[in-house]
Amino acid sequence: MSRYLIEVKKVKKNFNHKNGLVEIFKNVSLGVKAGDLVALVGPSGSGKSTFLHLLSFLDKPTSGQILFLGKDSKNFNEDEKDEIRRRKISIIFQDNNLLSDFTTMENVIMPLMIRGEDYKSSLIKAKNVLKDVHLSERKNHFPSELSGGEQQRVAVARALITEPELILADEPTGSLDRKTAGEIFSLFLKLKSKNRAIIYAT
C-alpha cells in the first residue's frame, strides 16, 4: 500500500494551439498523504486549475504518472474514475457549478442522493454541514437568490458532505470576504485534523 493518497510523478502537460504548442508545466512531482493541506500558489494562467483537473481525472497528463492509493490512473476506465469522484474525491470549482433549479439544501444533498444514500440521514448531514458554513437560514434559497460568497459556501458544503478522502479546491475563497474566507479555511483545518487531504489553488 502506498504511503501517499495521491502521487504525481514527472507529469508534463501540453496543449496544441493554432499558434503552436503550449507547455503548461513539465516534470512536476508531488506526494500528498492523508491529513496534508497543500496550497498551489501562482498567478492567473499559471496552470493551477489544469493541475487540479489532472488530479481529479477530468483530464490526462501528456506524460508522467498520477497514482491514487498506489494505483496508476492510466489503468482507470471512465466508470472507475466516476466512482472515485463519487466516493473519495470532492471538487470545489472556481465557478461553483451549482444547479440553478435546485435550492441550497437540494444542491448540497445531491451528491448523497447520487450515491443512493438514505434520504433522512442525508438530510441530517446536509443540515449539519450548512450550519458549519453559516447557511442554515439560506437552505430554501435558489442560487440566483444568493450572493457570490454564499454560492461559494454552498459549493464548499456540497464538497464536504460526502466526507471525501481528498478535496480539490480551485480558489475556494476568491469571492469571499476576509472573515468568511477565514471561516472556510478553518473548516479545511478541521478536515486536516480528521485525516482528510486538501489541495487548493490560490
pLDDT of residue 55: 95
pLDDT of residue 191: 78
Checking if the pLDDT of 193 tops 90, the result is no
pLDDT tens per residue, range 43-92: 888 889 999 999 999 999 999 999 999 999 999 999 999 999 988 999 88
pLDDT of residue 8: 96
Looking at residues 154-183, what average pLDDT do you find? 84
Grid coordinates given for 88: 473519495
DSSP 144: G
pLDDT tens per residue, range 145-161: 998 888 888 988 998 89
pLDDT of residue 124: 94
Long-range Cβ contacts of 137-146 (<8 Å, 24+ apart): 138/104, 139/103, 139/104, 139/105, 140/103, 140/104, 140/105, 141/103, 141/104, 142/100, 142/101, 142/102, 142/103, 142/104, 143/96, 143/98, 143/99, 143/100, 143/104, 143/107, 144/100, 146/104
pLDDT of residue 1: 56
Confidence of residue 11 (pLDDT cuts 50, 70, 90): very high
Q: What CA–CA distance (Å, rounded) separates 53 from 62?
A: 13
pLDDT of residue 16: 86
pLDDT of residue 92: 87
Looking at residues 173-177, what average pLDDT do you find? 73
Checking if the pLDDT of 107 tops 70, the result is yes
pLDDT of residue 2: 66
pLDDT of residue 28: 93
